[in-house]
A and B are shown apart, each in its own frame.
Chain A
Amino acid sequence: MSRRHIDIVLRALPAWLVPLAFLGIIELAMRASSIESDGLALPSQTAAALLGLITDGEIFLRTAETIGAIAVGVPIGGTLGLLLGVWLGLSPTAARLASLSIELFRPIPPVAVIPLMMLIYGLGIRMEAAIIAFACFWPMLLLTRDAVLGVEPRLIEVARILGLPRRKQITKIALPAAVPRIFTALRLTLGIALIVAVTTEIAANPIGIGYAIISAGLSLRPEVMYAFLVWLAILGWLLNESLIAMHRRLFGAAYGDAAT
């Protein structure tokens, strides 16, 4: 085959071949070497386990629990962070007064409030949602504040030149200008929410994907554990892809390249 032909073939290769080939190689290598370990499972066993979890619906049940906690926690923590962030971005006085408190609270790792939330809410979705809300509040707050502070100063000058009253400067200029970056903040926050949800489930809360993973591990069923890990990867990927697509749809033409 000539150089050119190789190039054509290479260019036609889809990216999903890479993980597939990777799994194939692992499968072959494991079969050839016949390693035995409690922590390992053949990719084919994992696939079978995943299929089993899908057919008996367990994976959807677990996913619903995790996503449910996220769906409650992110709107609460995110909205509070968003509102406060906008306020701090607009008011230098508020920002100055709040800065110390933020810097004190923010470094607390979200998992450190698990015991506290257990005391308040017991186990279950509510306590997990509360931890997620706490975890999402801070990045949303800071990123929103920065988004508002980062609004092109020239645009604020345009608003002043046009004689827009302060309230309209905010609603017509500052907030729309900050929206793409606030959306990016939301994307980041959702990623954090997924991490915190699964962590909480592994550490304390007997629901959701995290709990399924640790149960599978403790009952020495590595193929189920891998199946859930693969599922998590797919979930995270889907989440991000759909948010990116949404970002493009919402802000593509209007915001040019500045949005991404």
Chain B
Amino acid sequence: MNKTSSRLAPAAEACAQPAIAFDGVRLDFGGKCVVDGLSFTVAPGEFACVVGPSGCGKTTLLRLVTGLLSPTRGEVRRLGVTVDGPSRDVAIVFQDYGRALLPWRTAAGNIALALEAMGVPRLARAERVAALLDKVGLAGHGDKYPAQLSGGMQQRVQIARCLAQGPRVLLMDEPFGALDALTRQALQDEIARLVRDSGATVLFVTHDLDEAIYLGDRVFALQANPGRLAEVIDVGLPRPRDQLRTREHPEFLRLRHVLFDHVQKTH
């Protein structure tokens, strides 16, 4: 993973540490074991995708990284530090976008919330919000309320709010599920670019195996009951990736086969 970690140039000791490390993590919900024996690391600046059947614990995994959930056993570390709660460095795009936006605030107001939390002065906020709206393709929709936006637009507001945080770690839970194919591809490329520019580490949950290969440096395939890591696939496709050429790349097709075979086996 040297190739990817070299994109980032923060403090040297941070580079030596994995951005995210799971160490024998187990989590029980009301006596039921949801995930077990999770051990893996994600390097700084790496784009890691997570796939797996519904209910295998993908969302749970992301919530463990945020610190909204604590493991029953084992340890989750961010940049070498044990996670004991949410941090502004870690942003998450929630799966249920409809509930993650403040309904009484406009799209712009929702994005501004992140800036308010960081203490950005009022005058500077408007400009940055406008830039973020533009970035996610919502220029001109800033004064609409979430109830007046489509699902895909709400999701983009959520993404913009996360970007406003300027996170070192970006967690995304099926962020593009509600989007049409074209918007989806545009946002895939946009996210890939933004992430590369910011050097953020990404954990990206998706149901779409093609999307996982297209975006990821690695793909983690989970298995259900209890949720555990079944397979890790290295994606050696060159970057920047291209919607047409990458998807026609022989390596892309090979990985697609590997992943599909694997998913068929474990489903």
Contact = CB atoms under 8 A, between A and B. Distances in A.
> Interface residues of A: mostly helix, strand, loop or mixed?
helix
Given A161-B66, A162-B165, A172 B116 contact: yes
Which 6 pairs show the lowest CB-CB distances between chains A and B?
A: A256-B147, A162-B117, A163-B88, A154-B99, A254-B104, A160-B86
B90 A161 contact: yes
A15 interface: no
A155 interface: yes
A129 interface: no
Contact of B145 (A152, A154, A157, A256): A256
Interface string B147-166: 11000000000000000010
6 contacts: A158-B113, A161-B90, A161-B92, A254-B105, A255-B104, A256-B103
B204 to A, nearest CB: 17
Interface centre among B94, B102, B105 (most CB of A within 10 A): B102
Contacts of B165: 162
Interface in B81-120: 85-88, 90-92, 94, 96, 99-100, 102-105, 113-114, 116-118
Interface of A: 152, 154-155, 157-164, 168, 172-173, 176-177, 179, 251, 253-258
B9 interface: no
Interface centre among B85, B100, B148 (most CB of A within 10 A): B100
Given A255-B103, A256-B148, A258-B147, 9 more contacts: A152-B99, A154-B99, A158-B113, A160-B85, A162-B113, A163-B87, A172-B116, A177-B102, A253-B147
A154 B102 contact: no
A166 to B, nearest CB: 12
A157 B68 contact: yes
B175 interface: no
Contact of A255 (B86, B90, B117, B147): B147
B114 A162 contact: yes
B170 to A, nearest CB: 12
A166 B215 CA distance: 37
A247 to B, nearest CB: 13
A163 to B, nearest CB: 4
B199 interface: no
Contacts, number: 67
B146 interface: yes
Contacts of A172: 113, 116
A179 B114 CA distance: 22
Contacts of A163: 86-88, 117-118
Interface in B104-145: 104-105, 113-114, 116-118, 145
Interface in B54-93: 66, 68, 85-88, 90-92
B81 to A, nearest CB: 16
Contacts of A173: 102
A155 B99 contact: yes
Contacts of B92: 161
A168 B103 CA distance: 17
Interface centre among A157, A158, A159, A161 (most CB of B within 10 A): A161
Contacts of B85: 160
B94 to A, nearest CB: 6
Contacts of B91: 161
B117 A258 contact: no
A110 B7 CA distance: 70
A162 B88 contact: yes
Contacts of B113: 158, 162, 172
